[in-house]
Structure 1
Amino acid sequence: MLKKSEFLQNGKIRILLCIELLLILAGVAGLFGTKGIVVGTEETALLMGEGVSLPAGVYTARLYYDTGEDQVSAFGVTVKEGHYKTLLCNYAALFKGIHVRECQFYLLDDVENLRVEVEDNGAESLKIQGAEIVTGTERSRVYLFWVILISLLLDVVLMLAMLNRRQPVSTERQLAIFGVPALALMSSLPIMVDYNMFGADLIFHLMRIEALAEHILRGEWWSRIESAWLAGHGYANSIFYGDAFLLVPALYRILGFSPDETYRLFVLTVNLATAYIAYLSFHRCFHHRSIGMFGCALYTLLPYRIYNIYNRAAVGEYTAMIFLPLLAWGFYRIYTEEPERKGYLWNWVIPALGFTGIIQSHVLTCEMAGGLIVFLCLFLWKKTFRLRTFAVLALTVGMTTLMNAWFVVPFLDLMTADQYYFGHNANVLIQSRGILPAHLFYTLQAGGASSRFAETGMVDTEPIGIGMALLLCVIIWIGFCLKYSGKELTEAQKKERKAMNILLFLGCVVLFMSTCYFPWDALSSFNRLFAVLNGSLQFPTRLMGIASVCMVMAACLAGIWMLREKWAYLSGKGVLLLVVAVSVIFTTYQLNDLLLTRTEFIKLYSSQGIGHSAVLGAEYLPEGAGLEHMTYHEPVLSEGVWMDSYEKKGLQADAYVEADSGYIDFPMLYYKGYMAYDKRTGEKLPVVKGENSDVRVLFGQGFAGEIRVRYAGMWYWHVAEAVSAATVLGLLGAAMYRRYRIKGNIGKPRKGNV
C-alpha cells in the first residue's frame, strides 16, 4: 500500500496540493461576501426603468404586487446587451392570493442594464407595489463544490498512478477502475448539453426535488408532506413515494445549482451508482472481474434503462434499477450455496439492502420484483423449505421490514385511512398497452416517441426491448446447449446450466407478461384484487426492467462458458469484448438518435418556472378534492366564527379565533395527522376533512383564543422511525464488530497449530 508520507514527499504533489488549498480558500472567502438585498424597493422605478448594474452571480428578483387573476401575468429580468448566456432566467407566473413572488436568475457576466420586467398580458387588476433584488453565496458554494470534487479526483488518479508504478495493478483491475466510470459517462451522453430532454414525468420529479430542498432549508429533513405543492395546500407525495435518494439532488439544489443542472447531475450520479453496483454485484456473484465488467456493461447500457432515463424521465424507476443487481446477487447466493456453509445465514444482508434501496426509490418496482421472487421461491420449493434457507428468507423479509418501517408504517396507515384518486386505476384495463412480439427482437433501438402500440404498432416505437447484446448471449447459449447435449459435464457446469436455464425461464415469463398477449384484462375482470394490482402497474412494459436483470444474470453465466470455451480465432475474453462492443455500438446509436430527434426540451433556471401543480395523475389526492380549488386563498369561515392575526408558514397556521360554535376551513389539504390546539391552554381541537378536502377545525360555543394548526403525523410513526434507526445502527455495529474480529484473527495461530 502507498503510505501518506510517500505521497507527500513528491515535490510536484506538494505544489499541486498547495494550489488546491489556495483555490479552496478562495471559495471559502466567497462565502463571506455580499449577501442580502443589493437593490432595494426604494429603487423600484430605476429597476423597472433604465435598469441597474450588477456583477456576475446568482440573484433572486422579488416582486411585490396585487392581482385578482391567476397565472395571467408573469415577471422576470432582462438585459439589453450581453454575451452568449450572460443571463439565465425563466419568467415566474403571478398568482392571486399571494402578494410577493420570487424569480431566481443567474448572471454569468457583469451587466449594466439589468431590469425587472412584468408581462401583464392584459391583466387589468395587476398593481405593482415594489421590486428588489437579493443575492446569496450560491456562486461560491458551486465553485467550492467543483474545486473540491476535481481536486479529489485528480489526487486519487495520481495516487493510483504512483501505486501502479510501485506495484503494478492487474489489467482486469485497471479495466474495472477506468471502465466502470467510462460506461457511466457513455450512458450520460444526452446530459452533456445545456438543457434537459422533456420526459412525461420530468416536471413532477423536478417538483419533488424542489419541495424537498425547500423543506431542508427550513430544517425539516424528513418532511412527510411538503407545502410547496398545490399552492401551499401540501401533497402527501413523500409518504406514498419514497424520496430518500432525492436528498442528493436536493442538496445539489441547496448548493446553488439551477434545477436544470441539478437534474443532469443527478442523472450522472445515478449512472455512476448503477455501473458500480452492477460491477460489484456481478463480480462478487460469479467471482470473476471479467464477468463483473461484462455484466456491468450489459446492464448499464440496457436499452430499457436508457429509455427510462431520457424518454420517460422515470426517476423512481431508474433509481430503483440501481439495486436490482443486488437482489439478483443475493438470491443467487441463497439458492446456489450450501446451507451448511459457515456464514450462510448472513446471506439475507445483500437482498435486504437491495429491497431497501428499491422501496426507497419506487414501491411499484418492489412489488414487481417481490412477485417474481415469490414465484422463484415456489418454483424452487424443495430448496426454499430447507431449514437454513427458509431462515435466511425470513430474515430477509423481517430485516427489510424493520429497516423500512419508518416509511412503510405511514405509507400503509395513510393508504387505509382515506380514499384517493389512485383507487380509480382499478378500472383501467392495461392489456392494450403491452408490447408486440416484434419488440422482443427489436435491436436497432432509435429514440422513438410512440407507446400506443395497439394503434400505431411499431411506427416510431419507443425503444422497449432487451437489446441486441442480450439476444446475442441467448443465441450463444443455445449454441452451447446444442454442442454439449449428451456430453458429460462437471458438477460446476451442471449447476451453472441449471441456474442459466432457470434465469432464462424467469426472464422469458416476465417478457411474455410485458406483451399485449398476456391476459391482463381477463385477470382484472376475474378478481377485484387483480384489478387493483393491474391498475397500479399501469403499463406492462414496466416489467421489462425485471426481465432485463434476469437476462443479464443469464448472460453472465453464458459468459463464464465463453471464457472456458476454446474459440478458433478469439480468446474467451475476446468473445466477451465482442459482445460488449455490440452493446456499446447499439446503445450509442440509441443515445445519438435521442439527441438528434427529441425536439421537446426545457431549460429551467428557477423553481418558480416549475409551478406548483405538477402532480401527474393526482394519484395521492384525496377523493373529493379538486385541483381547480388548489389556489392561494384565505381560510373559509362558517357563520358564528371570527378570525384575526392569521399567519401561515408552510403547513402551519396561527390565528386568533372567537366562535359561537362553527368551523374554519384552512387552505391545507387534509390527510390523517393534522392537529389543532389552543396555544395558551394546550387544549386540542377537533380536525376533520372539510369542503374540497381542506383541513377543517371545529370550535365549540364560546371559544376564544389563539390557535395553531399544523401537520404532526401520528405518534406511532415516530415509534417506527426509532425502530428503523435502531435496526440500522445495530446492523452497522454488528458489521463493524464482525470485521474487527476477522481482522483480529489474521495472523493468529489456530488451536493445534505450532
Structure 2
Amino acid sequence: MNIVSVLASYHDRLLERLSPARFYPLLLAVLCVAGLLPLLMPGLPMGHDMYYHFSRLHAMCEGLRHGVFPVMINASALQGYGYASGLFYPDFFLYPVALLGVCGMSLVNAYKVFLIVLVLANAFSAYAVAWKIGRDHFVAFAAGLLYTWSSYFVVDVFLRAAVGEMTAFPFFPWILLGLYEIVYRDWRKFYYLALGFAGLTLSHNLSLVIMALVTAALLAFWHVRLLCEPRRIAAVLGAVLLTWLLSGFYLVTLLEQMASNTFILSNVATGSIADRAVAFPRLFLEFPFMKLEHWIPPGIGVILLVVLCQRLRFRGGDSNAQHFRDALLLMGVVCLLCASHFVPWEGALRTLAVIQFPWRFYLPATAGLALGGALTLGTIVNGTASARRRWLWLLIVGCASPWWLNICYQYAAKIHEKNIFRTFTPGVKQEASGLVYLPKGVLPEDLAERGEKLLAVPEIPLSFTRPRPGMIELTYEGNRSDCEVELPLVWYKGFGAELKDQRGKRTTQVSSSSRHCVTVLIPEDSGAGVIRVWYRGTALQRLTRWVSLISAIVMVGLWWQQRSRRKVSDQQAVAQAEAEALAEADGGNTQA
C-alpha cells in the first residue's frame, strides 16, 4: 500500500467535504491542541521566570479573595514588605487565571488553561491577519502554524516561562495588519494598529519598546508613500491616540511611578548586552544550546529560513499585498540580524541595554518571517492542489521539529533534575524579579535582616497586625508629640492612611523614609488610636481607568454599529441582485 497516496486521497476528500474555510482552521486547532498534550502530565517543568510569575498570580488570588481590585502590590513578597508587580508589570491578561484560582482551581492547572487559550489565540491571530491580507485559507493556515509552532514561541512558553513576552505574541500580527491598512489599503482601519499596540502595552513592557522601534523604522521606510497622502499620517497619529486611550490606565500609572522615585531598571548582573548577542550560525538552528557562558535561546527555526528562501523563486509583483509581503520578509531578516553581533551593541545601540537581551528581537523577526513566508507560499502554490498538499506536509513536519524538540528537551531535563513545579511556596528572593523596579538602594537581604520591625521617632508603645494582604493596622498609645513611624512596607506612590482615635476617622500623612519604606505621621493631638495603611492608588490612576473603560465601550459601540450597517448593506446588495436576476428572468420569459 502506498501510504503517501492514501494520505493524499484522504486529504483531498476531507478538504472537499469540509471546504477550505473549515478544513484549515480545524486542522490548525487540532495541531495546536495536540502540541500541548505534555500539559496532561502532573506539574510543569520549572521555567526560568516561572517562580516570579506564579508569585504574581498568587498575590492576585490573595488580593481578590480579600476584595482588593485591582491588585497593585504583591503583599507577601520580600518578607511582607511588598513588591509593586501590578504597577510596573501589566497584569490585565492574568486576571482570568487568578479568578480560576479564586474559584478553587490550583494555580498550576489555571496556568495550564491559560497556556491552552494563549496558544490557540496566537495561532488564530496570525490566521486571521493572513486571511485579511491574502484572502486564502491555506496561506492563513501556514501563517498560524509558522508563527505558533515556532522555536522562540515554544521556548517562551516552556523553557523561559516568559509570561509577558508570550502574551505579547498574539498582538504582533495585528500591529502589522494595522500598518498594512494604513500604508497600503484603507487608512480608516487604523484601529488594528491601535488594538495591537494596546494589547502589547498590556502584555509586556520590553516587547512594546522593541515593536515601537520596529514600527518607527517601517514608517520611515514608507515615508514617501505617507508624505504623498497626509491622511495616512493622520491615521498613524489616530492610532497612537487610541492606543493611549485604551491602555492609558496602565501606561500613565507606570509613568507616574517612574516620575515619583528612582528605580532599578535592569537585572543583567554582569557583562554588557553585547555578551548576549547570538552567533550568526545559531540564528536559525532550533537546537537547545548548552554549556554557554551566557544562555541564549535556540534559533527561530530552519523552516522559517526555508520559506524565506522561496522568495528567490519568483519576481516581485506590483500589488500592495506583494509589496507588503516583501517588506515583512525584509523586516524579519533585519530584526534577526539585530539579535546578532551584526549591529553595534557595544557602540551606538548600547543605549538599548534596557531590553537586556538582543535575542528579544526574535519576536518581531518571527512575526515578519511567518506572515511574509506564508504570503510567499501563497504565490508559489498559486491555487495548485498538489502544491498545496505538498507544502502542507512540509509545513507540518518542518514546524513540528522545533516545537517537539524543545518541549521534549525541557521535559526530559527537568524530570531528570527532579525540577517539576507543582505548587507555589512564597518567600524566595525571585519574587522581586531580579530587583527590577525596586527603589534604588533597596536590597532584599537588608529587608530580611530588619524583619517586621517598626521604627518610631520618638519611641512610643506600638503594635501592628495585617488584617488583609497589603494592609497594616497600627495601634499606638502614650503619644504626646508628632511621631513618625516607619512601617515594614516598601514605599510606592499611592499609599494612604486612615487614623481612628477619640476624634473619629481622618486621614494622616504618608511619605517615604530614607530607606524607601512607608512612613506615617501620628499627630501630637492623638494620644492613642489605630492607623490603617494600605495601597489605595492615586487620583490619576482612578481617572485613567475610567477614561480607558469609556474609550473601550465607545470603540465596541462604534464597531457594532459599523458591523450592523455592513450587514444591512450586504443584505440590500443581495436583495438587489436577486431582484435584477428575477427581472432578467421575467424579461426572457416575455420575449419567449
Within a 5 Å distance, the mapping from 1:13-412 to structure 2 comes to 170-337=18-185, 344-385=186-227, 386-412=229-255
| Contact 1:563 1:571 (C-alpha < 8 Å) held by counterparts | yes
Among 303, 323, 337, which residue is 1:469 paired with?
Answer: 303
* Separation in 1, partners of 2:480, 2:472: 17
* Separation in 1, partners of 2:390, 2:267: 53
* Separation in 1, partners of 2:19, 2:397: 18
Among 343, 353, 366, which residue is 1:548 paired with?
Answer: 366
Question: Per-residue CA shift, 1:621-641, capped at 9, x if unaligned?
Answer: 112322124345142222243
| Contact 2:262 2:440 (C-alpha < 8 Å) held by counterparts | yes
* Offset of residue 732 of structure 1: 1.2
**Partner of residue 559, structure 1:** 377
* Offset of residue 250 of structure 1: 1.1
For structure 1, which segment, 207-216 or 466-475, has the greater mean C-alpha deviation from structure 2 after superposition? 466-475
* Separation in 2, partners of 1:552, 1:586: 14
Counterpart code for 1:592: C
* Offset of residue 565 of structure 1: 7.8
* Separation in 2, partners of 1:692, 1:646: 21
* Separation in 2, partners of 1:335, 1:668: 50
* Offset of residue 707 of structure 1: 2.4
* Offset of residue 617 of structure 1: 1.0
Question: Per-residue CA shift, 1:506-532, capped at 9, x if unaligned?
Answer: 2222111110232112126xxxxx53x
| Contact 1:645 1:656 (C-alpha < 8 Å) held by counterparts | yes
Instruction: Report the secondary structure of 1:421's partner residue.
Output: coil
| Contact 1:433 1:516 (C-alpha < 8 Å) held by counterparts | no
Instruction: Report the secondary structure of 2:346's partner residue.
Output: helix
* Separation in 2, partners of 1:659, 1:742: 73
Within a 5 Å distance, the mapping from 1:258-657 to structure 2 comes to 258-337=106-185, 344-385=186-227, 386-422=229-265, 429-442=272-285, 445-450=286-291, 452=293, 463-481=297-315, 491-492=318-319, 495-523=320-348, 531=351, 534-564=352-382, 570-598=386-414, 599-600=416-417, 602-608=419-425, 611=428, 614-631=431-448, 633-643=452-462, 648-657=467-476
* Separation in 2, partners of 1:597, 1:687: 49
Question: Per-residue CA shift, 1:134-155, capped at 9, x if unaligned?
Answer: xxxxxxxxxxxxxxxxxxxxxx
For structure 1, which segment, 636-645 or 355-364, has the greater mean C-alpha deviation from structure 2 after superposition? 636-645
| Contact 1:637 1:663 (C-alpha < 8 Å) held by counterparts | yes
* Offset of residue 566 of structure 1: 6.7
| Contact 1:190 1:594 (C-alpha < 8 Å) held by counterparts | no
* Separation in 2, partners of 1:510, 1:633: 48
The alpha-carbon distance between structure 1 residues 245 and 610, as it changes in their structure 2 partners (threshold 3 A), is farther
Counterpart code for 1:222: P
* Offset of residue 647 of structure 1: 5.2
TM-score normalized by structure 1? 0.69
* Separation in 1, partners of 2:181, 2:106: 43
Kindly tell me the number of residue pairs found equivalent between the two proteins. 556
* Offset of residue 426 of structure 1: 11
Among 524, 529, 532, which residue is 1:708 paired with?
Answer: 532
**Partner of residue 584, structure 2:** none
For structure 1, which segment, 601-610 or 589-598, has the greater mean C-alpha deviation from structure 2 after superposition? 601-610
Question: Per-residue CA shift, 1:13-32, capped at 9, x if unaligned?
Answer: xxxxxxxxxxxxxxxxxxxx
**Partner of residue 162, structure 1:** none
* Offset of residue 603 of structure 1: 4.4
| 2:521 counterpart of 1:698 | yes
The alpha-carbon distance between structure 1 residues 266 and 601, as it changes in their structure 2 partners (threshold 3 A), is farther
Question: Per-residue CA shift, 1:392-444, capped at 9, x if unaligned?
Answer: 111110001000111111100001111112268699620110000111242xx
More helix by share: 2
| Contact 2:152 2:297 (C-alpha < 8 Å) held by counterparts | yes
Within a 5 Å distance, the mapping from 1:725-740 to structure 2 comes to 725-740=549-564
* Separation in 2, partners of 1:649, 1:677: 15
Counterpart code for 2:301: G
- Structure whose CA Rg is larger: 1
Question: Per-residue CA shift, 1:120-179, capped at 9, x if unaligned?
Answer: xxxxxxxxxxxxxxxxxxxxxxxxxxxxxxxxxxxxxxxxxxxxx9xx963313323421
* Separation in 1, partners of 2:576, 2:380: 43
More strand by share: 1
Instruction: Report the secondary structure of 1:672's partner residue.
Output: coil
| 2:479 counterpart of 1:662 | no
For structure 1, which segment, 605-614 or 625-634, has the greater mean C-alpha deviation from structure 2 after superposition? 605-614
| Contact 2:497 2:534 (C-alpha < 8 Å) held by counterparts | yes
Instruction: Report the secondary structure of 1:697's partner residue.
Output: strand
* Offset of residue 608 of structure 1: 3.2
Structure 1 unaligned residues grouped into runs of 5+ = 1-164, 338-343, 454-460, 525-529
For structure 1, which segment, 383-392 or 237-246, has the greater mean C-alpha deviation from structure 2 after superposition? 383-392
The alpha-carbon distance between structure 1 residues 289 and 247, as it changes in their structure 2 partners (threshold 3 A), is same
| Contact 1:302 1:467 (C-alpha < 8 Å) held by counterparts | yes
Instruction: Report the secondary structure of 1:742's partner residue.
Output: helix
Q: Which structure has more RCO (C-alpha within 8 Å, separation ≥ 6)?
A: 2
The alpha-carbon distance between structure 1 residues 731 and 313, as it changes in their structure 2 partners (threshold 3 A), is same
| Identical columns (%) | 22
The alpha-carbon distance between structure 1 residues 233 and 463, as it changes in their structure 2 partners (threshold 3 A), is closer
Question: Per-residue CA shift, 1:588-647, capped at 9, x if unaligned?
Answer: 333333333343454455443665752231111112322124345142222243335755
The alpha-carbon distance between structure 1 residues 647 and 578, as it changes in their structure 2 partners (threshold 3 A), is closer
* Offset of residue 210 of structure 1: 0.7
Counterpart code for 1:542: R
* Separation in 2, partners of 1:260, 1:661: 49
* Separation in 2, partners of 1:646, 1:311: 40
Question: Per-residue CA shift, 1:36-67, capped at 9, x if unaligned?
Answer: xxxxxxxxxxxxxxxxxxxxxxxxxxxxxxxx
The alpha-carbon distance between structure 1 residues 462 and 368, as it changes in their structure 2 partners (threshold 3 A), is closer
Instruction: Report the secondary structure of 1:322's partner residue.
Output: helix
Instruction: Report the secondary structure of 1:422's partner residue.
Output: coil
Structure 2 unaligned residues grouped into runs of 5+ = 1-13, 581-592
For the aligned residues, what is the CA RMSD? 2.9
Instruction: Report the secondary structure of 1:232's partner residue.
Output: coil
| Contact 2:278 2:296 (C-alpha < 8 Å) held by counterparts | no
| Contact 1:472 1:579 (C-alpha < 8 Å) held by counterparts | no
TM-score normalized by structure 2? 0.86
| Contact 2:153 2:166 (C-alpha < 8 Å) held by counterparts | yes
Instruction: Report the secondary structure of 2:167's partner residue.
Output: helix
* Separation in 2, partners of 1:171, 1:748: 27
For structure 1, which segment, 369-378 or 508-517, has the greater mean C-alpha deviation from structure 2 after superposition? 508-517
